[in-house]
Amino acid sequence: MREFDDDAVVLRTYKTGESDRIVVLWTRTHGKVRVLAKGIRKTTSRLGATLEPLSFVHIDLVKSRGDLYIARHVQHRERLGVLRGSYQRINAGYAVVEVVDAIPSDDVADEGIFELVIRVLLTLDQEEFDPTLVPASFFFKLLAHDGSEPVVDCCVNCGRKGPLVAFDAQVGGTLCSNCRSGRSISADALALIRRILGGDLATVLHETSPTGAGEVMAIAHEAIEQHFGKRLKVVPSSADAASDQ
Ligand SMILES: [Zn+2]
């Protein structure tokens, strides 16, 4: 496509040349797009402020060399001031966009993923929602979106209803005491995962570091790494949730 405009989220940026950056976007209807932002590292750059990681923008693009685009016009869709004012919220957002950047889907548009990411950003931008479980919840929602939702209502190996004592990302869900592999899972963590996947997410995010949150974060991280088959370097900060383990 020679030129187009679209809503987009900035996943990350990296240096190229003297004062330029490549800006990696996930767009609503054009999938992942790379933009050459010329002069963005100069302090006078207007583009710099609008193309920071986690920005939610509307952008006007024209094709440059290779698969790169150049931005003709960018404007914020949302300023996300609450998100930007909190280190914990920014880190939660980074954990999410890093995973989106790892999705092997160049040139494949997926509006469902775009909607999930936007919901994450808008959730992180509201004081009423605790950011602790936002990345873990996103990982579970993304797995469900990809048709890889973990089994958490019975033993994934033998089908027994319970008691379920372990979670193994390689097998894809919870396990009973006879079949156990992977890591052990507490009843609290299991209940939280069921609520996140079962439509109770908004209530979960109103609770500040609920019991089992640290475990849920570790399990979600394992499950998403297993799904993409690689290590992800940004681990959601579990310092605030670790105390319940
Ligand atoms: Zn079993």
Which residue intervals of the chain are DSSP H helices?
47-50, 81-84, 87-102, 111-124, 134-145, 187-197, 201-206, 213-228
CA 11 / ligand 1 centre spacing (Å): 40
For residue 218, report the distance from its CA to the centre of ligand 1, in Å: 22
Q: Is pLDDT at 237 greater than 60 in this prediction?
A: no
Give every strand in the sheet of 164-168, ordered side by side: 173-176, 164-168, 183-184
Neighbours of 197 (CB within 10 A): 18
The pLDDT tens digits for 92-119 are: 999 999 999 988 765 578 899 999 999 9
Confidence of residue 16 (pLDDT cuts 50, 70, 90): confident
pLDDT tens digit string along 45-72? 666 678 899 999 999 999 998 889 999 8
Calculate how far, in angstroms, residue 43's C-alpha sits from the geometric centre of ligand 1: 60
- Which percentage of the chain shows pLDDT scores above 90? 74
Total H helices, total E strands in the chain: 8, 8
Q: Which tens digit of pLDDT belongs to each residue from 20-32?
A: 889 999 999 999 9
Mean pLDDT of 82-94: 96
At 194 the pLDDT is: 96
Give me ligand 1 centre to Cα 191, in Å: 18
Average pLDDT over residues 193-219: 94
Fold of 3-81: OB fold (Dihydrolipoamide Acetyltransferase, E2P) (2.40.50)
Q: Give bridge partners of residue 4 from the DSSP assignment.
A: 61
Measured distance between the N- and C-terminal CA atoms of the chain, rounded to whole angstroms: 50
Q: How far does the centroid of ligand 1 lie from the alpha carbon of residue 155, in Å?
A: 5
CATH 2.40.50.140 in the chain is located at 3-81
Q: What spacing in Å lies between the alpha carbon of 164 and ligand 1's midpoint?
A: 8
Which pLDDT value is given to residue 108?
Answer: 74
- Ligand 1 centroid to Cα of residue 178, in Å, is 5
Ligand 1 centroid to Cα of residue 159, in Å, is: 6
Centre of ligand 1 from the C-alpha of residue 125, in Å:
41
Phi and psi for 196 in degrees, rounded to 5? -60, -45
CA distance 79 to 60: 18
Burial track 13-35 (b if 16+ CB lie within 10 A, e otherwise): beeeeeebbbbbbbbbebbbbeb
Q: What is the pLDDT of residues 149-184, one digit of tens each?
A: 999 999 999 999 989 999 999 999 999 999 999 999
Residue of 234, 243, 239 whose CA lies nearest to 54: 234
